[in-house]
Chains A and B, each alone.
Chain A
Amino acid sequence: MAKSKSAYSTPTKLGKIDTHIIVVWVDNEASVLSRVVGLFSGRGYNIESLAVAEVDQKNNLSRITIVTTGTPQVIEQIVLQLKKLVPSSQDHSTSSVKFLA
């Protein structure tokens, strides 16, 4: 997991791998889960566990809770990439992605 995405990196020192819980609030629309999960598989991030449910019917919000592992650099990337997904950023600005642990 510590591997950088660069084809050129033959890392000499591995970063410390930690487990984190990331919570994403998303507009509950078709294919939004696949966007989030596709981001993880496409960029080679881990998903250790995943829970999804609608939490706010009025505002049409779902909560996705993801347990993931990675070096601090990878975790930072995961959060930044998640923030770029359009349905996770509409209306609720940057609070849509949150670190729990």
Chain B
Amino acid sequence: MPKLYSGAEIVFKCLEDQNVEHIFGYPGGAVLPIYDELKNHPTIKHILVRHEQGAGHAAEGYARSTGKPGVVLVTSGPGATNVVTALTDAYMDSVPLVCISGQVPTHLIGTDAFQECDTTGITRPCTKHNWLVKDINDLPRIMHEAFEVATTGRPGPVLVDIPKDIQFAKAKYSKPKKEKKLNGKVLNKFNQKEIDQLVDLMKKASKPVFYTGGGVINSGPKASELLRELVALTGFPITSTLQGLGAYPGDDNQFLGMLGMHGTYEANNAMHDCDLLINIGARFDDRITGKIDEFSPKSKKVHIDIDPSSINKIVKVDLAIVGDVSDVIKSTTKTLKKKNLNLEKSNKQKISKWWQQIQKWRTKKSLNFINSDKIIKPQHAVQRLYELTKNQDTYITTEVGQHQMWAAQHYKFNKPNRWMTSGGLGTMGYGLPAAIGVQVAHPKKLVVDIAGEASILMTMQEISTAVQYNLPVKIFILNNQYMGMVRQWQELLHEKNYSESYSEALPDFVKLAEAYGCVGIRAEHPDELDEKIEEMINTDRPVIFDCHVDQAENCYPMIPSGKPHNQMLLGPKDQEANKITGKGKSLV
């Protein structure tokens, strides 16, 4: 007779077999048996958050900075509904999460019991897959399947809903099956013929550009190394999406900076004028493409992605290669080396004119801003933060808004997994809990959340979590007393009617920090900025840094809604000349 385990024990045995070290969660009635079991499993450390959304984002930060799945444990009803934002965020940005939720006992399901909700129904559209465990004998299989689905193919969140009676019921436990299937499907479908086609296109191209995304990061650190090798080998320019930053060194000469709505002039113009566009692990998001009909009109397009449904979803491509980014790049580099030993030389000549054109675009210096010695410019604050932290291995998270774009533009990332931001869903309040997740995974590293004063208040309570676990996260608030991006759009589109975008009655962030038991620092003048940032870095406790910045600063360059890549606004002067009218006004 094999040993029987309770459902709660099985949950932990599965977590142990999946090498889970940290879980983020919040207890409640329907998960009490699982919480009771926690004490018997010392290898698994539980981080108690202050709100379930925080648990979800913390697990996302953990996952994105380590490459391992993040694990969330919440109760039924409100516990589950609170985590929905984080699950949707993870779904949009392809972050592997395993969320375990408690549920009312099976016999009460459907009776509108206390703290009951249709968790699997609510989370169906925001997870890769979810399960309601109705039979204890299914639990071990489902748990292992959950990890497999979350981490294979295009990663994403999954949810396992476990009724309370199942947590008490007993069953046999079986270890996970060794061989990993990719969602039961073979996703590495690409063949040598496709690689040959790609190499052929690369050889013929005179205006090529690499456009890389979060898929490179998700493919693991090896993919970034391979990408660097490929880019060096070809001599092609490379631009990256918001999520792909760090896969290629941000200060390298072949890197054109980020592309898209707030990307650089050179990156967007290169996208528009190129004759070969190689998309590696990105998804032609609307922030990237601008007006679809005029998106990169003269180019042959290649799309490398692990998810077949990403191909031809928005932009029709000439060559699709479905596979893991690492594998595809490796094959491409191998083929390039084998077939074209003198590629580097011949290519350099062929694309030298293209590089000249790019240099011309670069002279526009589209990220420039007019600095001030009286008031701190937000871009300047990010630049100083970068200069003062670049010599150590720094992890950056952000909230959502102007500060996020300034961080992406002015902070240069050199390694993958160092940049955690909510791109797809654009969740304000993401950065602080994500920073906590990152710090849990990397206790000795510097973790900074570049934040806005509006975003940070959405999940402010999590600073309490940071204090509880001695997680010295640094909250760097670019405080302009406005929901800056909302204000910017109201300026551009709604005749400066700043409807409800002014943050009245803001807390005193320094006193707030002290109330939470951490350190508050305020900077109001450019002269004191460096010194205060140093103070923040050297403080071995959580810090809330209240950086008062110019209230009127707008985020440029910008592709206005409904416009193609080559019609960017470079600054306030352009804005007057290019009023957004008609259809552009209705777009987000």
Q: Cβ of A94 and Cβ of B185 under 8 Å apart?
A: yes
Q: Cβ of B293 and Cβ of A6 under 8 Å apart?
A: no
Q: How far is the CB of B517 from chain A (nearest CB, A)?
A: 43
Of residues 73 through 98 on chain A, the ones whose CB sits less than 8 Å from some CB of chain B are: 73, 76-77, 80-81, 83-86, 89-91, 93-94
Q: Which residues of chain B come closer than 8 Å to A85, judged between CB atoms?
A: 129
Q: Cβ of A5 and Cβ of B314 under 8 Å apart?
A: yes
Q: A7-B587, A73-B312, A86-B183 are in contact. Are A31 and B120 (CB under 8 A)?
A: yes
Of A7, A12, A31, which one neighbours B293 at CB under 8 angstroms? A12
Q: How large is the interface on B (under 10, 10 to 19, 20 to 34, 35 or more residues)?
A: 20 to 34
Interface string of B308-339 (1 = CB under 8 A from A): 11011110100000000000000000000000
Q: Which residues of chain B come closer than 8 Å to A31, judged between CB atoms?
A: 120-121, 124, 132
Q: How far is the CB of B301 from chain A (nearest CB, A)?
A: 15
Interface string of A27-55 (1 = CB under 8 A from B): 00011001100100010000000000000
Of residues 125 through 147 on chain B, the ones whose CB sits less than 8 Å from some CB of chain A are: 125, 128-129, 132, 134
Let me know if B250 is at the binding interface, CB within 8 A: no
Most buried by B among A4, A5, A8, A10: A8
- Nearest residue (CB) in B for A12 is B293
A-B interface contact total, Cβ < 8 Å: 74
Q: Which residues of chain B come closer than 8 Å to A83, judged between CB atoms?
A: 185, 308-309
Q: Which residues of chain A come closer than 8 Å to B128, judged between CB atoms?
A: 84, 86
Let me know if A9 is at the binding interface, CB within 8 A: yes
Q: Which residues of chain B come closer than 8 Å to A9, judged between CB atoms?
A: 291-293
Q: Cβ of A11 and Cβ of B293 under 8 Å apart?
A: yes
Q: Cβ of B314 and Cβ of A10 under 8 Å apart?
A: no
Q: Which residues of chain B come closer than 8 Å to A84, judged between CB atoms?
A: 128, 183, 307, 309
- Nearest residue (CB) in A for B559 is A8
- Nearest residue (CB) in A for B583 is A10
Q: How large is the interface on A (under 10, 10 to 19, 20 to 34, 35 or more residues)?
A: 20 to 34
Of A4, A34, A91, which one neighbours B292 at CB under 8 angstroms? A4
- Nearest residue (CB) in A for B586 is A7
Q: Cβ of A10 and Cβ of B312 under 8 Å apart?
A: no
Of B124, B313, B561, which one neighbours A38 at CB under 8 angstroms? B124
Q: How far is the CB of B225 from chain A (nearest CB, A)?
A: 29
Of A8, A73, A90, which one neighbours B587 at CB under 8 angstroms? A8
Q: Cβ of A4 and Cβ of B314 under 8 Å apart?
A: yes
Let me know if B588 is at the binding interface, CB within 8 A: yes
Q: How far is the CB of B156 from chain A (nearest CB, A)?
A: 10
Q: How far is the CB of B564 from chain A (nearest CB, A)?
A: 9
Q: Which residues of chain B come closer than 8 Å to A94, judged between CB atoms?
A: 185
User: For the complex, what is the distance from the CA of A89 to the CA of B185, rounded to whole Å?
Assistant: 7
User: For the complex, what is the distance from the CA of A38 to the CA of B292, rounded to whole Å?
Assistant: 27
Interface string of B573-588 (1 = CB under 8 A from A): 0000000000100011
Q: Cβ of B121 and Cβ of A6 under 8 Å apart?
A: no
Let me know if B562 is at the binding interface, CB within 8 A: yes
User: For the complex, what is the distance from the CA of A91 to the CA of B145, rounded to whole Å?
Assistant: 14
Q: Cβ of A6 and Cβ of B588 under 8 Å apart?
A: no
Of A5, A11, A12, A35, which one neighbours B124 at CB under 8 angstroms? A35
Q: Cβ of B183 and Cβ of A89 under 8 Å apart?
A: yes
Let me know if B184 is at the binding interface, CB within 8 A: yes
Q: How far is the CB of B293 from chain A (nearest CB, A)?
A: 6
Q: Cβ of A38 and Cβ of B125 under 8 Å apart?
A: yes
Q: A83-B185, A89-B184 are in contact. Are A8 and B562 (CB under 8 A)?
A: yes
Q: Which residues of chain A come closer than 8 Å to B292, judged between CB atoms?
A: 4, 6, 8-9, 11
- Nearest residue (CB) in B for A89 is B184
Let me know if B286 is at the binding interface, CB within 8 A: yes
Interface string of B257-287 (1 = CB under 8 A from A): 0000000000000000000000000000010
Give the interface of B toward A (CB within 8 A): 120-121, 124-125, 128-129, 132, 134, 149, 183-186, 286, 289-293, 307-309, 311-314, 316, 561-562, 583, 587-588
What would 11 more interface pairs be, CB under 8 Å, given A7-B587, A84-B183, A86-B149? A4-B292, A10-B291, A31-B124, A31-B132, A38-B124, A42-B125, A80-B308, A81-B309, A83-B185, A86-B184, A93-B184
The 4 closest A-B pairs by CB, nearest first: A80-B309, A9-B292, A86-B129, A6-B286
